[in-house]
Amino acid sequence: MLDETGRRARAPPVSEPASMDLRPMPSDIPRTSDNGPYLIGVDVGTGSARAGLFDMSGRMLAVAKQDIGLFREAGGIVEQSSAEIWQAVCATVRAAVAKAAVSPDAVAGIGFDATCSLVVLGPGGTSLPVGPSEDPARDIVVWMDHRAVEQAERINGFGHAVLDYVGGRISPEMETPKLLWLKEHRPAVFAAAWQFFDLADFLTWKATGDLARSTCTVTCKWTYLAHERRWDPGYFHQIGLGSLADEGFARIGTRIVEPGTPLGAGLTPEAAAAMGLRAGIAVGAGMIDAHAGGIGTVGIGGTPTDNLGYVFGTSSCTMTSTEAPVFVPGVWGPYFSAMVPGLWLNEGGQSAAGAAIDQLLAFHPAAAEAAARARDGGTGLPAFLASAVLARCPDASDAARLARGLQVVPEFLGNRAPFADPHARAVIAGLGMERDLDSLLALYVAGLCGIGYGLRQIIETQDSAGASVRRIVISGGAGQNDLVRQILADASGKPVVATVCAEPVLLGSAILGAAAAGLFADIGAAMAALSRAERVFEPAGGEIAALHAARYGHFAALQGIARSMRDC
């Protein structure tokens, strides 16, 4: 095949390493007949709820999606409605089963994942208003809500030992700073609350009536010490939330179980009726959405410790599993059994990833026209731009040349890792006055490179602390394009693996349902059986590798300049 200049076009560097198992599933894995069993995975992201129906090969037979609302106000306030989310969950489950044209009675298990958002409910499960709107329907403080920056900084100033297990600094995206904000700014609501849930635990409670919390949610976002199987009362007393400890932690979780543990008596009759399923279907303890993406990906090759799970959505998360705890300053964790049971987890990521690309593109004069052309073609703006880049650079690695002289540090919402700096902000350097599509494409590529350099920074920081990985396994809506995957491989210097399943976050949740239903010996067995690699994007060498190395150095320099000019 020749490119538009008449040269022979090179395919993106793709290989299938011998060390990675890409073989068909072994014969001892339970098979799906016309009568099942089938699995359902439910994912509640920032902007939508989705449900996927899977067979026992890990193949997704149907998926359904429903958008959910987001309420924004000044002061970093971002809220949602648990009632709206539950309605959307039930609607998408019904739709997925109908699309797959399978009998609801053939569904054996269901699992849930969700963003790490805080749900506040009063007696009997009534909704309580979490912000100044006074609207009780707005009962969720969304993960990306930054109202509690001051509380997080105050907590970090105490330097309690539990902070060693969140990378040394707690984030305003976590739940104890948000709880402290509620106590200080909404004391009546805080006092009236019957339960404070992480959103995934709220969903399993709605489905089963079981108040158990997942080790994933409370360990990663609430400071539960899973390796010691306890909350630390001293921490809560020190930061000003001693009442929760004095109550025996009854409002935030007294029974903590590993993801995939069967809950209650399965799906309650009320939840079953709302979802169009039969009562009693196994429901597994849930997970944070990014961690479900990890469950759906890092089992590839049967070696979770070799694989970094990279969930590239509105934000991004990096999931690194280790046999022993590894303490990495600025990277959350180490968390015990928070993702893969029995392994330790280090969690990094970028507070804005897909959202950062959207924000970046919105600044460009050509964005509106390009978005209109994308809509006419039935696609979104990033997908349209990726196609346009590949038309100019059939070898995806060459796309980096389009961004020469243009650098983007896409930290619009702070630096989640490795600096744990919510005050960090984006830097764009090298812009001219061009207003055409080519300059928009250059900005898009520079933004993707910036995401890749942030990923590389996390990987290198973890590696220096003793948490090394061999490859990146990607999931999330923003990472489904081959151009994106190749640029991330080139910018990070690690192979990027794309999975057979196009929706590994949903697959991860379905794996929780499979474990709860007893269809596999454990989560690890289900992961190894149902997660398979499709393509591997190898990082380019030679001139392209040198180009990215130089650009990465400039990226880090611009980060430092941005920090130094913050108060000027």
Q: What is the DSSP letter of 450?
A: H
Tell whether 292 and 413 lie within a shared domain: no
Q: What is the DSSP letter of 124?
A: G
204: containing domain: 38-296+501-535
Tell whether 200 and 140 lie within a shared domain: yes
Tell whether 359 and 438 lie within a shared domain: yes
Locus of tokens 């399993």: 204
Which tens digits make up the pLDDT trace of 305-332? Answer: 999 999 998 889 999 999 999 999 989 9
- The residue that leads in pLDDT, 138 or 23, is 138
Q: Count structural domains, the chain.
A: 2
Tell whether 59 and 155 lie within a shared domain: yes
Q: Domain for residue 263, yes or no?
A: yes
Q: Give, in degrees to the nearest 5, the angle at Cα 300 between 395 and 483.
A: 20
Give the number of other CB atoms < 10 A from CB of residue 198. Answer: 28
* Mean per-residue pLDDT, 384-403: 97
Which tens digits make up the pLDDT trace of 28-53? Answer: 445 556 678 999 999 999 999 999 99
Question: In DSSP terms, which residues pair with 31 in a beta bridge?
Answer: none
- Check residue 502 and give its pLDDT: 87
Which tens digits make up the pLDDT trace of 97-154? Answer: 999 999 999 999 999 999 999 999 999 999 999 999 999 999 999 999 999 999 999 9
Q: In CATH, what number is assigned to the domain containing residue 245?
A: 3.30.420.40
> For residues 177 and 169, is the Cβ–Cβ distance under 8 A?
no
**Cα–Cα distance for residue pair 398/537, rounded to 1 Å:** 14
Tell whether 520 and 470 lie within a shared domain: no
Both tokens of 176, joined, read: 């104890």
- Check residue 17 and give its pLDDT: 35
Q: Domain for residue 308, yes or no?
A: no
**Cα–Cα distance for residue pair 439/441, rounded to 1 Å:** 5
Tell whether 171 and 261 lie within a shared domain: yes
Q: Domain for residue 5, yes or no?
A: no
Q: Domain for residue 223, yes or no?
A: yes
Which tens digits make up the pLDDT trace of 378-391? Answer: 999 999 999 999 99
16: confidence class by pLDDT, cuts 50, 70, 90: very low
Distances (CA, A) of 303 to 13, 320, 534: 23, 12, 16
Tell whether 517 and 460 lie within a shared domain: no
Q: Domain for residue 178, yes or no?
A: yes
**Cα–Cα distance for residue pair 493/496, rounded to 1 Å:** 9
Tell whether 446 and 521 lie within a shared domain: no
Which tens digits make up the pLDDT trace of 283-307? Answer: 999 999 989 999 999 998 778 999 9
Tell whether 411 and 560 lie within a shared domain: yes
Tell whether 493 and 545 lie within a shared domain: yes
Give the number of other CB atoms < 10 A from CB of residue 133. Answer: 13
Tell whether 214 and 236 lie within a shared domain: yes
Q: Domain for residue 322, yes or no?
A: no
Nearest of 423, 429, 443, 445 to residue 555 by alpha carbon: 429
Kindly report the pTM of this predicted structure.
0.86
DSSP letters, 125-148, are: G-B---STT--TT--EE-TT--TT
Q: Which amino acid type is present at position 169?
A: R
- Check residue 25 and give its pLDDT: 40
Tell whether 161 and 274 lie within a shared domain: yes
Q: In CATH, what number is assigned to the domain containing residue 427?
A: 1.20.58.2240
Distances (CA, A) of 116 to 121, 195, 312, 380: 16, 15, 16, 26
Nearest of 67, 124, 65 to residue 95 by alpha carbon: 65
Q: Domain for residue 465, yes or no?
A: yes
Q: Domain for residue 390, yes or no?
A: yes
